[in-house]
A and B are shown apart, each in its own frame.
Chain A
Amino acid sequence: MTTTTLAVLVPLLPFLGAVAGLLLGRTVPGLVRPLAVLPALTSLGLAAVVAVRQGGDAAVDAATQLTPTGSVPIDLALHIDGFAALVAVLVGVVASCVQIYSTAYLRDDPRYPSYAALVSLFTSAMLLVVYSGDLMVLLVGWEIMGICSYFLVGHYWETPEARAASLKAFLVTKLGDVPFLIGLFALAVDAGSFRITEILATVAQGGLDHPTLIALLLLAGVAGKSAQFPLHTWLPDAMAGPTPVSALIHAATMVAAGVYFVARLLPVFAASAAALVVLAVMAAVTMAGSALAALAQDDIKRVLAYSTIGQLGYMTGALAVGDRGAAVFHLLSHGAFKALLFLAAGVIIHAAGTNSLAAMSRMKDLRDRVPDAYWTMTVALLALAAIPPFSGFFSKEAVLGAAEHTATGHADSAPAAAGWIVLVAGLVAALLTAAYATRLWLLAFRGRGAEAPDHGRQPVAMTAVLWVLAVPSLAFGVTVGVLPDWFDGHKLAPTLTTSVLGTGVALVGALVTYGAWRHTTALAARVPIGAVAAHPDADGGQVEAEAIATHAPAYGNVASAPDPADPGRLLLGPLHRHAAVGFHLDALYAALFVRPVQAGARLVRFLDREVVDTYVRGAGTAPRWLGAAVRRAQTGNVQTYLSALLAGTVVLAVAAVLVATAGA
């Protein structure tokens, strides 16, 4: 088969799996798991073959016109360069892992068939985004991901948190998608095509008329999808979905789509220095703010969610300094270790019966209950904190190196200001990242207090996946020499300055956190805290759903817990209160948008009920009165009727006579 055929099959197989799963899920339950896992695995294999065949050479392009539109044509196009090939492999890996993991994690869930089908559809949509060479087709995948995330985040729709979170995810991403769509049209009008290759060719000739406007419009969609400030607020709340969904959304699919999109169209953004600066500021604010917020979260998954936002900030930072190789490198390594982190967190939540770090810090020997999760998560946290020689170190150093390169004026594609912004924010974020990674590890695995509950061994499907993902988290860095061949050719190897700086601040962050923890951990015994799910023997999904549902009643807040033993509380000081709630951004949005909209809705309701309906009721009242009046004539007395009839006859007769005589 040709590479094109294989590439077409890659997104098609999960799609067919999703359709079959939806159709057969109820009637043939035995087929659900094979239909979920096999298409993902096959797609992974095919994506790997496509990647090998493409091999970093010239991009594979194939197109067939989908429909003549009269103006800008829409093509069914493939555009597979090195970025696309590798990102598709990552998507395949994470999707396969998530599907395998889910078979055990949602073992007893009655809605597993639809869940698995939606995950397949999600995967298919992401692969479509990755491979598509036409922006309209890309948009199709982009929007399918939006609606799938709505369904998957709301998987536990019985809980109000999940319902609110799914709606929020949908609305916030859609808020970004509107300008995104307008931006796409503007881009297509300027370039005369939706094809990526032709757009890039146009940009190379300087043919864009409004680069800044287009770039900013597109950035809005990217910020919504990739959870960048100020549209990031949906992501922490999306933790109300099952853990595998979080892994899928955070590691490889939805949030990666935004970064990937910018990476693909980077020349468009690079055409506008203002857009790059905006991107840099966005990335800097996102990095620093999310890292601070992560340090204050109590829910283990929310820590990881804010960490995702921060790491995505690194990627957009890399894009802001014009190095998409570094961005996609970080995307790949982050995809691996973040998927690992989430899946391991799922195991931990299942084992501990709670998602609260405060509760975990009061459990002894949790690490012995889940040795696989303990070791793999340690690896992933080291990668997250960018400690050499783990994969995160290399990719993050690539980003910082690119920023330093730009800041010192060696790159002509991006303004130096963007470089400085990204570099400083990146170093601050590196410090904070190491701090919250250390905090997470200490609180989860170094707890003291009562014995952790024993639920026996975790299912193999869950633990094996962890080890599979641990390999790239550990060793992806060795590819640093090969990857530039696939990408633009920029050198990705770490430079000495940034390596020393980055690793240094990371170590400082870790050590400071450790010191704080040593200081505060003594307090833990004094304040008993912790709520544990009631169903120790249930599958992971149910335990997690209960843990999320009980967090707010137990601790007063979905995000934080009043735990004095938390080192983050000591480190952040007065800032902790604000960081725990995401710096009041939700409250701000509520005041700025939600309340005016609700007030407007109330006004409309009032107008409808009281003003419009008054006319309607009035229109109904007049005929009713008329009817009552006419009904009074229905006396049942024949003589009355006859009198009226004859009176009418007389009148008519007189009228007829008058008319006749007048005419004569």
Chain B
Amino acid sequence: MHLAYPAVLAVLLFCVGLYGVLARRNAILVLMSVELMLNAVNLNLVAFDVWLRDTLHSGQALTLFTIAIAAAEIGIGLAIVLAVYRNRGTSAVDDLRDTAERPDDGGDGDGVGPEGAAAEEPDEPAPGASQKAEATA
């Protein structure tokens, strides 16, 4: 089998995952996209391991490790998403903008931001900030 097939498939999967990470609003969908990217890497690892016939099979061992780490990552990630959701009432990535520049940020809200925020959480920032402070404390 040509090495190009699995390699190209891995590349395409990776880029699909990349697109998902950058384009999805829901944090859980972002996590799914991360899983896609991880799997693309796994595919690469396996394909090159098979191609190279490595006696240590480091590719496959690393794939196993990656899978385990991905499982841990998804657990932690979901816990974080849930904590954020509990505190903020939303799991939309682009609503979490505490690091934005305040004075100019009020008006521009670029594109989807204002309508999404308006639809889900009309008065989000102030309680969100206080809740976050309490949660971190």
Contact = CB atoms under 8 A, between A and B. Distances in A.
| Contact between chain A and chain B defined by CB under 8 Å | yes
Interface of A: 628, 631-632, 634-639, 642-643, 646
A634 B93 contact: no
A637 B104 contact: no
Contacts of A634: 99-101, 105
Nearest to A641: B99
B22 interface: yes
30 contacts: A628-B104, A631-B101, A631-B104, A632-B104, A634-B99, A634-B100, A634-B101, A634-B105, A635-B97, A635-B100, A635-B105, A635-B113, A636-B96, A636-B98, A636-B99, A636-B100, A636-B101, A636-B105, A637-B100, A637-B110, A638-B96, A639-B21, A639-B22, A639-B23, A639-B93, A639-B94, A642-B21, A643-B22, A646-B18, A646-B22
Q: Please name the 6 residue pairs, one residue from A and one from B, whose CB atoms are nearest each other, closest first.
A: A636-B100, A636-B97, A634-B101, A631-B101, A636-B99, A637-B94
Interface in B14-61: 18, 21-23
A320 to B, nearest CB: 78
B134 interface: no
B123 interface: no
Contacts of B21: 639, 642
B106 to A, nearest CB: 12
Contacts of B104: 628, 631-632
Contacts of A643: 22
Contacts of A632: 101, 104, 108
Contacts of B108: 632
Contacts of B110: 635, 637
Contacts of B18: 646
Interface in B85-137: 93-94, 96-101, 104-105, 108, 110, 113
Interface residues of chain B: helix, strand, loop or mixed (majority): helix
A642 to B, nearest CB: 6
Contacts of B101: 631-632, 634, 636
Nearest to A631: B101
Contacts of B22: 639, 642-643, 646
B110 to A, nearest CB: 6
Contacts of A642: 21-22
Nearest to B110: A635
Nearest to A634: B101
A150 to B, nearest CB: 53
Given A636-B101, A639-B22, A639-B94, 20 more contacts: A628-B104, A631-B101, A632-B101, A634-B99, A634-B100, A634-B105, A635-B97, A635-B105, A635-B113, A636-B96, A636-B97, A636-B99, A636-B100, A636-B105, A637-B93, A637-B100, A639-B21, A639-B23, A643-B22, A646-B18
Contacts of B100: 634-637
B99 to A, nearest CB: 5
A543 B94 CA distance: 80
Nearest to A635: B100
A31 to B, nearest CB: 64
B19 to A, nearest CB: 10
A638 B93 contact: yes
Contacts of A638: 93, 96
Contacts of B93: 637-639
B89 to A, nearest CB: 17
B76 to A, nearest CB: 17
